[in-house]
Structure formats: C-alpha cells, structure tokens
Amino acid sequence: MHLHRFANVGLVGCRRRRAERERDGGERVQLDGHEQRELMSVTAGASGSGNGTVSYTVAGNSGTASRTGTITAAGQTITVTQAGQTCSYTVSSTSVSSSAAGGAQSATVTAAAGCSWTAVSNAAWISVTAGSTGSGNGTVSYAVDANTATASRTGTIAVAGETITVTQAGQACSYIVSPTSVSSSAAGGAQSATVTAAAGCSWTAVSNTAWVSVSAGSSGSGNGTVATPSMRTPRPRRAPERVTVAGQTVTVTQAGQSAPPPTSACPCTIWGASTTPANITSDAQAVELGVKFRSDVSGVITGVRFYKGTTNTGTHTGLSVERERHTGSRPRRSPAKPRRAGSR
Amino acid sequence: MTFASPVSIAANTTYVASYHTNTGNYAVNDNYFLAGGADNAPLHALANGVDGSNSVDAYGASAFPKQTYNGSNYWVDVVFNTAAADTTPPTVTGATPAANTTASARRRW
C-alpha cells in the first residue's frame, strides 16, 4: 500500500502553489496549500502496511470562512472541513458630539477579514457618505447636517451591530430687538419693540427705570413684542432711560416739558432789531399785514412792531392781535381785545 | 406801536398780529415761512403748515388778514411780556361769513 506522505490542502483566498517532491523510491508526495505554513500535517502513519492508522493535525483557522482540506491515503481521499472564526466587530467612537453646524465625522470598524458589515443611519440629519458596507477593517464616513433649532438632538448610526450615538448641539440663541432707541414726548405714551429670536429662545424685558414700565411681553420665547404703557405725565427733561430686552437695551428718551422762558429776557419779540428784510415792495396799495405766531407761555402783547421801510410812510392803523380762526363755518373768534389804532 | 392796554394771549395758541398801512411799500421776504418758522422762545412765528399758512394779509381797508401769499414774511412782530395774563376766554361776537353763505376772497398774483 502506497501512501502519500503529505496532504493536499486547499485554501480559499490564498495564492496557491504547488510543490512536488520525489521521496522514497519514486513515490509521489504532493503538497497543495499555503506557502507560508502547513495547515494540516500527518503526524503518524504516513506509510504503512495492512491495517494502520493515519494521524494528522489540523491547524487553527484564523479566518472567518470555513475551509476544506484533503488527505489522500491508500488512494482514498479524506476531506476535512474546518469552520471559520466567529466574526467580532469593534467600532471606534460610538459616542460622538457634533457642533450645531454639523460636519463630517468618521468611525473605524475593526473586524476580521471576511467579516462583512453595514452602516445605516437612523436619523434623517445624519447621512452615511462612505463605508455603508464593508468587510474586515474599514471606515464609515458620515455627515451631520446643521441643526437650525436651538434644542440639541441625538441620532444613531447602526454599524456592524454596534451603535454610534451622535449628540448635536443646538443653535445659540440670538436676539434682535427693534427699535433700540425710542423717543417719547413729554406726555409719554405707549411704545413697543419687537424681538426676533428663534423658537425656543426665551427672553425677558425689564425696565431699568421707574418711569418706563413694561405692560406686555415681559417675558417670551421666540419672536415677540414688548410694549410699554403710557409713560408718566409731564416731568422735567430726562436723561435717556433703558429697557433691557433679551440682552439688548432699548433706550427711551423722553422730552421734558418745554422750559419756561427766562422772564428776564422779556419783553420779547420774534425778530431782533438787526433783522433786515430782503425786499421793500413798490406796491402802494393799502394793506393789512400780519404774522401768525404762538407763545409758549401766556402773557400779554403790549405792541406790534413791523419793519418800516422809508417808503412805507402812510398812516398805520388797524393794529390788532387776534386769535387764529380755523377754516370752515366755525365761528370766527373775536379779537381778544378790540382793535386799537396805533400811532406811528 | 404799542397798545393802549396790553392784549392777553394764552400759551400755545395761534394768534395773528397785524397792522394796516395805507401806503403799502411794505417789507417782505417771499417764501420765508415755506422753509420754516422763526423761533425766539417763548415766541414762535409759525412755519407754513403748522396752523395753516402763515403770510397773512388783506388788501384794502384794515381787516383781519386772511389772504396768504407764498409764505411771505411781512416782518410783523409782537412785543410780548409775561406779565399777569388775562385768563378771561374770548367770546364770539360775530362770524363772517355766516355759516353756509358765500363769501368772496381776493387773490393776489
């Protein structure tokens, strides 16, 4: 009985090399296998006569695929099928933080050759850009969309049986308040300012002074309006005061009551003595000429002045001060005092 | 020219002060009140539009000057003092024209 002294071993995925050697008086020994190592070797009974036992050793299979080898003994083939390794996977960075702006991220997958895997996003705002499938070691690349909301959010990617959890921060709240500078008359009155902010951004409005109060919108979230009610009644002229809204300052400037005229300046006139008219008309018709005026304070008109050109030589009469009448059929107000003739 | 007795005026109320000349040849700055009033607190000559048109005149005999012409300033001025005001309100003694009647106005070009 002849026996090949070496087994034929076939491997998946390895480059094959056949080596043939002549041994023991022309008997052929065949080795068909991995060039680096001997995966199955006959340890006893490589040759014999009559009944006998062939002993052989099977090396460990570090791969994930099963494999088959054969031993030829006495013209018969012994087929040995060896199971592969169970696949195990390691994913780096299973807990990831992202800024609100989002951006590209990646994770590496460590697995034995032949161990295939997939990467699937479970969030609409996370997309796998590369490495959605792989085998053995690999990299999963994914993109995180910008988070336009102010709240943070969490999404997951399933990779090779593992979970990558992505926590993305929300937008920082920004607030626009308009207008930030308000003028009020001395009488006061309601004012309002609008706050522009993203939903979920809360704010408050606080008056920093006693004479400005917030009547509505002292707190809010997102867009809103802050209103102030009537300011208090007449006060002396004020320095600007402020309402703080959403971290911004609305400056309210309220006019004071018109300052009383310095009494020492009166008697007063509208125009000074040095005022010079542009024209002296040559229109010689008789005419009544007037000026419409007001005074900040009550008082008395003691006289009427007019610029008298050298040719305005006539008799000047009809001097009057009358309260202005308004149009329409409203009754004319009488002169505050009867007209008096002047003399000049 | 001075009044025999002062004429009281109330604060922030529009009045017209006027004089009559029988010879014309008056001083004038056309368009003056179109650009603004004249302020010398507490007195204010009103710009056109504050309370109707300034530039008030009336040709002919002395009358309330209710015509207007181009915001002209006729350089009529008042002498004002803050002395004791007469707070008696004015009373209506007559109205011209009467309600729902027609009156004519002269316009100067």
CA gap A271, A223 in Å, rounded: 53
Token output for A303? 């006289």
**Cβ contact A334–B30 (<8 Å):** no
Domains and CATH numbers, chain A: 8-82 (no CATH), 89-168 (2.60.40.10), 175-254 (2.60.40.10), 267-277+285-344 (no CATH)
Beta strands in A54-180 (DSSP E): 55-58, 67-73, 76-82, 89-91, 95-98, 103-111, 116-121, 126-130, 133-135, 138-144, 153-159, 162-168, 175-178
Question: pLDDT digit string (tens) for B54-101?
Answer: 878 888 877 778 777 878 888 888 888 876 545 566 677 777 677 777
DSSP annotation of A268: B
CB-based contact, A315 to chain B, within 8 Å: yes
A241/chain B closest Cα distance in angstroms: 27
Least confident piece of the model among A137-141, A288-292, B47-51, B58-62: B58-62
Residue A319 has what pLDDT? 65
**Cβ contact B54–A304 (<8 Å):** no
Closest by CA position to A120, among listed A134, A136, A102, A110:
A134
Buried b (16+ CB within 10 A) or exposed e, A170-195: bbebebebeeeebebebebeebebeb
3-state helix, strand, coil in chain B (%, to 5): 5, 35, 60
Residue B67 has what pLDDT? 79
- Total domain count for chain B? 1
CB-based contact, A86 to chain B, within 8 Å: no
Query: Which of B5, B24, B77 is the closest to A269 by Cβ?
Result: B77
Highest mean pLDDT out of A61-70, A74-83, A154-163, A239-248? A154-163
Query: Which of B12, B29, B52 is the closest to A296 by Cβ?
Result: B12
Beta strands in A160-312 (DSSP E): 162-168, 175-178, 181-184, 191-197, 202-207, 219-221, 224-228, 241-245, 248-254, 279-280, 287-295, 299-306
Residues of chain A positioned with their CB less than 8 A from the CB of B14: 292-294, 323-324
Mean pLDDT score of chain A: 75
Residues of chain A with pLDDT > 70, as a percent, come to 74
Question: pLDDT digit string (tens) for A208-243?
Answer: 888 888 888 888 887 777 776 654 444 455 566 677
**Cβ contact A269–B80 (<8 Å):** yes
**Between A233 and B104, whose confidence is greater?**
B104
**Cβ contact A299–B52 (<8 Å):** no
Least confident piece of the model among A70-84, A153-167, B14-28, B56-70: B56-70
Least confident piece of the model among A112-126, A177-191, A210-224, B92-106: B92-106
Mean pLDDT within A298-310: 82
Res. B107: pLDDT tops 90: no
Res. A82: pLDDT tops 90: no
Res. A5: pLDDT tops 50: no
Residue A30 has what pLDDT? 41
Cβ neighbours of A155 (radius 10 Å): 20
Residue B81 has what pLDDT? 84
Residue A33 has what pLDDT? 41
**Cβ contact A320–B64 (<8 Å):** yes
Residues of chain A with pLDDT > 90, as a percent, come to 17
CA gap A262, B41 in Å, rounded: 9
Q: What is the chain B residue with the closest CA to A328?
A: B99
Q: What is the chain A residue with the closest CA to B37?
A: A293
Mean pLDDT within A89-104: 91
Residue A256 has what pLDDT? 76
Backbone angles phi, psi at A46, to 5 degrees: -65, -25
Q: Which helix (H) or strand (E) covers residue B33, if one does?
A: helix B32-35
Res. B38: pLDDT tops 90: no
CA gap A251, A207 in Å, rounded: 10
The confidence band for A72, taking pLDDT boundaries of 50, 70 and 90, is: confident
Residue A69: beta bridge partners?
A: A9, A80
Backbone angles phi, psi at A123, to 5 degrees: -125, 140
Residue A27 has what pLDDT? 35
- A15 contact partners, CB below 8 Å, separation of at least 6: A35
Q: What is the chain B residue with the closest CA to A319?
A: B19
Backbone angles phi, psi at A268, to 5 degrees: -120, 155
**Cβ contact A284–B23 (<8 Å):** yes
- Which domain covers residue B89, as residue numbers? 1-109
